[in-house]
Amino acid sequence: MSMSAHTIDPEFEDIAFTPRQEAVLEHALALLVGGGEKALTTAGLARTANCSKESLYKWFGDRDGLLAAVVAYQANKVHFPPESGATADAETFRTHLVAFATELLAVLFGETSLALNRLSIGQSNRDDNRLGRLLLVRGKHMISARARSLLEAGRHRGLIKFNDAEEAYQVLYGLAVRDVHIRLLLGDTPSEAERDLEAQARVAVDRFYRLFGA
């Protein structure tokens, strides 16, 4: 069942957007971040992006296609840099873990990610869940894969210990994110401490080591 996640999504288009289209999608993203789903109307986007509705429908099919394109486009922009040179040093590995967790929080708590998550969640009972699956496949699964490889590296060097990399990652995720993600999605404003992403990440990694440290 988690296997099905690895099979490429037949879904649709493997995202080859022309520069013009990308510019339009950028405008769409801005509208979404600014005012939520209902702020993104075909007419409105056409107006602010200086394009015609007809082009929108030609490029993206229909409104749902447009939404999917926005999600695919943005999810494609987020790439976790694969672990840099990475000396086997224990201290630098821990630093990498903290950096990963910090980056994770930065992405998840970013306005555009929140807007896209809100959008996908709002549409989660339509169209066989296109948006939600897109976001999961092109977003979470990417990050999770990156995390697993990082953790595996640490285990290989005897720095941490676990049976299931996925499970270990999920614990790290839980320790770092807690309930902040859902609260932000609901429109809550984070506390002062919660805004210091690196500090949060550091504490999370500390606790992670107490659970999985070798």
Q: Which residues bind a second copy (CB under 8 A)?
A: 1-2, 35-39, 117-118, 120-126, 129, 132-133, 135-136, 140, 170-171, 173-179, 181-183, 185-189, 191-192, 207, 210-211
CB of 118 to a second copy, least distance (A): 5
* Residue number with CB closer to DNA (32 or 204): 32
| Residues 163, 211: Cα–Cα separation, whole Å | 12
Q: Find the binder of DNA among 12, 38, 179, 213 (CB under 7 A).
A: 38
Residues 6+ away with beta carbon under 8 Å from 161? 155, 212, 213, 214
CB of 10 to DNA, least distance (A): 21
* Residue number with CB closer to a second copy (23 or 171): 171
Confirm or reject binding of residue 161 to DNA (CB under 7 A): no
| Residues 37, 126: Cα–Cα separation, whole Å | 15
Confirm or reject binding of residue 186 to DNA (CB under 7 A): no
Burial of 27 (0-12, 13-18, 19+ CB in 10 A): buried
CB of 212 closer than 8 Å to CB of 161? yes
Confirm or reject binding of residue 52 to DNA (CB under 7 A): yes
Q: Find the binder of DNA among 11, 13, 62, 167 (CB under 7 A).
A: 62
The structure tokens listed for 193 are 């401490």
When CB distances are held under 5 to 8 angstroms depending on the partner's kind, the choice from a second copy, DNA, none that residue 54 binds is DNA
The structure tokens listed for 16 are 């080859």
SS3 198: helix
The structure tokens listed for 39 are 């702020």
What letters, b where the CB count within 10 A reaches 16 and e where it falls short, cover 184-200? beeeeeeeeebeebeeb
When CB distances are held under 5 to 8 angstroms depending on the partner's kind, the choice from DNA, a second copy, none that residue 175 binds is a second copy
Confirm or reject binding of residue 43 to DNA (CB under 7 A): yes
CB of 20 closer than 8 Å to CB of 59? no
Signed CA dihedral, 202, 182, 14, 44: sign only: negative
Q: By CB under 7 A, how many residues form the interface with DNA?
A: 20
* Residue number with CB closer to a second copy (23 or 136): 136
Segment 102-121, which members bind DNA (CB under 7 A)?
none
Binding site for DNA (CB under 7 A): 18, 20, 38, 40-43, 46, 50-55, 57-59, 62-64
